[in-house]
Chains A and B, each alone.
Chain A
Amino acid sequence: MNVLVAALPAFLASAVEFVEALTIVLAVGVTRQWRSTLIGAGAAAVALAAIVGVFGSAIVLLVPIDVLRTVVGGFLVIYGLQWLVKAILRAGGAKAKHDEDAIYAAEVAAMRQEPPVAANGMDWISFTVAFKGVLLEGMEVAFIVVTFGASAGQLGPAILGASLAGLLVVALGIAVHRPLARVPENGLKFMVGLMLTTFGTFWAGEGVGVAWPWSDATLVVLLGVFLVGSLAATRLVQIRLDGAAVARLASAP
């Protein structure tokens, strides 16, 4: 159970973030130079692995589990709610959905404004853009892997979950050679937000002195409560926006 608890959120979050990173890498590689782009993306992946290894090990070895769960639980509630609220707003129509095709087109246009690629050697623009894109998108995954893995005492499965998602996205990217616009990013973000909020509330609650009535089974109850609340909030946003649209039409001259 604990293995799945650590691996699943890491897998889903990693899938979402690496789809976004893939869009940037593809845009840079197609427009400029593949070699430098792949070196940049690879260097960022190595940097992320080092960050997870160093911080994950340090947290697991040095921080007592009670302190870890309180602090990490608090961060997970904050972070999970951010993902969840954004996903609710996107599902309800109050915020634009992530459009990988549009992001890809914008990135390609931006790359075409840059000076031409050198005939030989390293193209540092390709390297930097790919490195930065993968590192920034991957930092969220690293944060989730370290916090979830350490708190559940399952850093290995969390790393494995994130790595599998990364490999899957790369394989799909190689196979289709275009942004993965059909991946239901918002649905995945909704699920990750729910999981982070649920576990964050559970662990932080234990840290501040809450005694959960059904022990670990309370997680299922919390997940159910947050799921129902989120679906209701999505519907309310849709009703609110529909109402506003009707009012605007009615008041139009």
Chain B
Amino acid sequence: MSGPVARYLRSFGAFWYDFLIGDRPELFVGAIAILAVVWAAVQMGLEPGFAGLVLATLVVALAGWSVWRASRPARGR
């Protein structure tokens, strides 16, 4: 597909990709995965109050992991 419509669609997709995913895709995938896991755990009988603790812990862990990945010192610098 080519032409102005395709170009517009590509720019539109690129804008939203950059907006929501950007250079830290693990945050996008991780946040969705965390919510899915907590939802599934609650459905399977996890106590809803405890689920909140699990959710907050997983969010902190995701942020920590992302920071750790991004702050790796470059080799040979």
Q: Is A225 an interface residue (CB 8 A)?
A: yes
Cβ of B13 within 8 Å of any chain A Cβ, yes or no, is: no
Q: Chain A's nearest CB lies how many Å from the CB of B66?
A: 5
| A209-B71 CB under 8 A given contacts A81-B62, A201-B56, A225-B60 | no
| Residues from chain A with Cβ under 8 Å of B34 in the complex | 77
A143 to B22, CA, bound (A): 16
Given A92-B71, A241-B71, A209 contacting B59 (CB threshold 8 A): no
Q: Is the CB of A210 within 8 A of B27?
A: no
User: Does B60 lie within 8 Å of A210, measured CB to CB?
Assistant: no
A140 to chain B, nearest CB (A): 8
Binding site for A on B (CB under 8 A): 19-20, 22, 24, 27-28, 31-32, 34-35, 38-39, 42-43, 48-49, 51-52, 55-56, 59-60, 62-64, 66-67, 70-71, 73, 77
The closest CB in chain B to the CB of A240 belongs to B71
* Interface size in chain A (residues, C-beta < 8 A): 42
A residues 221-253 with Cβ under 8 Å of B? 222, 225-226, 229-230, 233, 236-237, 240-241, 244, 248
Please indicate the chain A residues that have their CB under 8 angstroms from the CB of B51 in the complex.
205, 208-211
- Complex Cα distance, B61 from A114, in Å, reads 47
The answer on a CB contact under 8 Å between B20 and A75 is yes
- In the A-B complex, the 4 residue pairs with the closest CB atoms: A244-B73, A209-B42, A211-B48, A208-B39
CB distance from A2 to the nearest CB of B (A): 21
Tell me the bound Cα distance from A207 to B52 in angstroms. Answer: 11
Chain B interface main SS type: helix
B4 to chain A, nearest CB (A): 17
Docked pose: A32 CA to B35 CA in angstroms? 49
Q: How far is the CB of A220 from chain B (nearest CB, A)?
A: 13
Give the shortest distance, in Å, between A37 (CB) and chain B (any CB). Answer: 23
Q: State the Cβ distance, A55 to closest chain B Cβ, in Å.
A: 14
Q: How far is the CB of A166 from chain B (nearest CB, A)?
A: 20
Contact B63 A85 (CB under 8 A): yes
The contact string, 1 if C-beta is below 8 Å from chain B, for chain A 193-205, is 0000100010011
Q: Is the CB of B62 within 8 A of A82?
A: no
A11 to B47, CA, bound (A): 37
What residues on B are CB-neighbors of A140 within 8 Å?
Answer: 19
Q: Is B20 within 8 A of A201, CB to CB?
A: no
CB neighbours of B64 from chain A (8 A):
229, 233
Question: Which residues does chain A contribute within 8 Å of B67, judged by CB atoms?
Answer: 85, 88-89, 92, 233, 236-237
A-B contact pairs, 17 of them (CB 8 A): A74-B31, A75-B20, A78-B31, A81-B24, A81-B66, A84-B63, A85-B63, A85-B66, A89-B70, A94-B70, A143-B19, A208-B55, A209-B43, A210-B48, A211-B51, A213-B52, A244-B73
